[in-house]
Structure 1
Amino acid sequence: MLIEELRHMRVARRMTQEDLARAINYSPSTVAMVETEARKPPPDFWELVDTALDTGGAFARMLVRFGSPQWMREWEANERQATVLRSFQNMVVPGLLQTAAYARALFRSVGLFDEEEVERRAAARLERQAVLTGERPPQLVAVLDEHVLRRPVGGPLVMREQLLRLVKVVTEHPRGGCRSCPPRSARIRVSPEPSCWLATLPTGEDVAYLDDQLKGKVIDHTEDVLAVRTSWESIQGEALPPRQSIELLAKVAESWS
């Protein structure tokens, strides 16, 4: 639908593929391949097209209305085939480990969605969690800043349920792990890292994903992925050992009673 609308708007404005390519600073071949569905649109493609065709943000609205943005769909494809998933979160519990109530509370806190949209987005988030219960679930290692455990999202009951869910994942998921970084660790003083994910694909390659809670970015350039992985490993080194992390999760969960 998006591609059909792109062709229609471009022709209506009497622009060739070459004209559009110049306007968005991509090659004519990229525009041609997107329009023929021979390749995925680059992450910022629709935003640039909105500006070049003066659509008033039409494509951005269609992406929100009819599905996840391109960068999220690309990352979810990596999630589904990953053999190992590693995460660091400094603001919220990662989506793959969220309860329904926690996810709803996060979407409500944005202040942009009606209740129907909140439910739709929460359901989509929980559907992603199927990657952890399939025939060959990935090994999962999630590192959370302790601030995440103590930041109120949705109230005490929601937080208690969420933290007990984390304890259950760690103790019952044979390939799951969740560790906590004390907020006063050396890591915070020298490297306040953004939230990130690393997916190891069946080929052995790693793909990274950075998330600032507003927009994500998938990274597959080798040197950039290596930088993210090095940073994640440094953060993991500051985390509490597994048993102490479980004890902390359980203790903070009870504090939310």
Structure 2
Amino acid sequence: MAVSELDPGASPLALFGAEMRRLREKKGITQEEIADYTHVSKSLVSQIENAKRTPQWDFTEQVEKLLDLKGELLRLLPLVIKTGPTWFRQWPKIEAVAHNLRTWQPLVIPGLLQTRSYARAILRGQPGISDERVDEATEARLARQVVFDRPEPPMYAAVIDEIVLARPIGGAEVMREQLDHLLKLLTHPCITLQVVPMAAVPTIGLLGGFVIAQLSHGPDTVYLDSAADGEVTDREDRVRTVNLRFDAIRAYARPVNETADVIREKMVMYERS
């Protein structure tokens, strides 16, 4: 495809390619310079700019650094990278424009708060999954985390069960890194994390995890986890039920100012391993 023929409106991939080329040329940087800086071939850079190859998280981060950007390309990644089953692919688009996100997770660290190693350990546990698919899914999950780099990031309230911090997913080293990452995220002005003591989990919390997205333009939408397929819906009755469920579970959580102490207590367990 010729450079002049690339239509940014043709697809998210075309939008990324056109935007990367525009920003690169604005800075006076060549494709060769990007290739050298990111340790990839010039051919790959050209293919990305022509919407023939999908950019990955690490590559995009390095390009942003070279071009001295502030998230212009990273914010497009959730639209570009495949994000799982067809039913799930609308969720990153909703998540990317939400002004308020609330989630309950009884089993694992919420995806938007996961480290690369923790995410890989979870994804690798899926039966029959290939290393290539693990890599793709990990990149997709990390790409969604750019919502916190928006000029006006969403208010994000996460409530997790205490057992999540004690479950050694990936082993001690992975958990130490993950818990340290959570402590750093607690300093973000838009992120709050609360922990529900194991002894206090209400039975309603055992039904599964979920996320509630509040949008400025459009109805509130929820994402519900399940063992087989998840569900993304804006049905008013479903959204109302999940909102009530979140409030009921949150009532059992420790205060926000106690979260750091709870995480540090769990870190001691992994430091001994």
Q: Given the two structures, how large is their TM-score scaled by the length of structure 1?
A: 0.70
Q: Aligned residue for 1:124?
A: 140
Alignment of 1:154-169 (within 5 A): 154-169=170-185
Which of 171, 182, 190 is the aligned partner of 2:197? 182
Whether the aligned pair in 1 keeps the contact of 2:83 and 2:141 (CA below 8 Å) is no
Shift of 1:111: 3.1
CA distance in 2 between partners of 1:185 and 1:151 (Å): 17
Amino acid at match of 1:252: K
Shift of 1:233: 0.7
Shift of 1:204: 6.9
Residue 115 of structure 2 is aligned to residue 103 of structure 1: no
Q: Aligned residue for 2:23?
A: none
CA distance in 2 between partners of 1:163 and 1:104 (Å): 16
The number of equivalent residue pairs is 190
For the aligned residue pairs, the C-alpha RMSD in angstroms reads 1.6
Shift of 1:183: 1.4
Structure 1 stretches of 5 or more lacking a match? Answer: 1-65
Deviations 1:200-257 (A, max 9, x none): 0013732111012542101211011000000001111110001112210122123211
Amino acid at match of 2:202: R
Residue 235 of structure 2 is aligned to residue 221 of structure 1: yes
Q: Aligned residue for 2:99?
A: 83
CA distance in 2 between partners of 1:215 and 1:163 (Å): 28
Amino acid at match of 2:122: L
Q: Given the two structures, how large is their TM-score scaled by the length of structure 2?
A: 0.66
Residue 216 of structure 2 is aligned to residue 202 of structure 1: yes
Which of 118, 141, 147 is the aligned partner of 2:157? 141
Whether the aligned pair in 2 keeps the contact of 1:156 and 1:256 (CA below 8 Å) is yes
CA distance in 2 between partners of 1:217 and 1:192 (Å): 17
CA distance in 2 between partners of 1:195 and 1:203 (Å): 25
Identity of aligned residues (%): 36
Whether the aligned pair in 2 keeps the contact of 1:179 and 1:246 (CA below 8 Å) is no
Deviations 1:140-172 (A, max 9, x none): 00000011111110000101111111111112x
Whether the aligned pair in 1 keeps the contact of 2:106 and 2:161 (CA below 8 Å) is yes
CA distance in 2 between partners of 1:96 and 1:191 (Å): 20
CA distance in 1 between partners of 2:85 and 2:251 (Å): 33
Whether the aligned pair in 1 keeps the contact of 2:201 and 2:249 (CA below 8 Å) is no
Cα–Cα, structure 1 residues 100 and 193, in superposed 2: closer, same or farther, change >3 Å? same
* Structure 1 runs, 4 residues or longer, greater than 4 Å off: none
Matched position secondary structure for 2:251: helix
Shift of 1:67: 5.8
Shift of 1:80: 0.5
Q: Aligned residue for 1:170?
A: 186
Residue 266 of structure 2 is aligned to residue 237 of structure 1: no
